[in-house]
Amino acid sequence: MTILSTFDAHNPDTALTVTDDPAEIGKLLENKGIRFERWLTQDLPAGAAPEQILEAYSAEIAKLKSESGFQTADVVSLNPDNLQKKAFRQKFLDEHTHSEDEVRFFVRGQGIFYLHLGSQVFAVQCQKNDLISVPKGTKHWFDMGPEPEFTCIRLFTNPEGWVADFTGEDIAGRLPRFEALEGAAL
């Protein structure tokens, strides 16, 4: 289930808002300039190759490319048995920005995008069927949890792919991590 929790960036001990209503999540994020949609997923075999996934979603990818000028799409997938899972998690845990929109469509599994928007942080626990687009220049980070299990389609305008500009701020370390928010009680 997709869950949005909001926090005061200066006092992040308690969530200000927690909702699992997709319409409310979409509205709250849209008000902050964040694109959030629920898409239907395809029935793909377990362990489908990236090429199969990209082919299954070729129409959706083409639409996003034409709307926003994306040049490339790829698939990122992590499982709990990945020997590099700790390093991969750490790579995305610090607050950063990008010079392009960061678009992810969750084909399988889950992860939490933390969006630092002014004096608030929006923690969006994305699940299978969720599309999120974080606008360029938005301070954010991503937590896949200690036992990552997800597959996402990523779209880029920069052919180099994922390039981050880290802010050097410690805010990501002051907010509840994936383990505390996963399936947060409503």
8 Å CB contact between 155 and 63: no
Rounded Cα distance between 93 and 130, Å, is 20
| pLDDT at residue 69 in the model | 86
More confident residue, 21 or 165: 21
Contact between 70 and 103 (Cβ < 8 Å): yes
* The token pair that represents 82 in the structure block: 């990945």
pLDDT tens digits, one per residue of 63-92 = 999 988 888 899 999 999 999 999 999 999
pLDDT (tens digit per residue) in 28-70: 999 999 999 999 988 888 889 999 999 999 999 999 999 888 8
Listed residue (43, 54, 61, 101) closest to 77, CA to CA: 54
The Cα–Cα gap between 97 and 21 comes to 27
pLDDT in tens, 92-145: 999 999 988 889 999 999 999 999 999 999 999 999 999 999 999 999 999 999
Q: What is the DSSP string of 56-97?
A: HTHHHHHHHHHHH---EEEEEEE-TT-TTHHHHHHHHSS-EE
Rounded to whole angstroms, how far apart are CA atoms 119 and 100?
23
If 0-12 CB within 10 Å is exposed, 13-18 middle and 19+ buried, where does residue 104 land?
Answer: buried
Question: Tell me, what's the pLDDT at 159?
Answer: 65
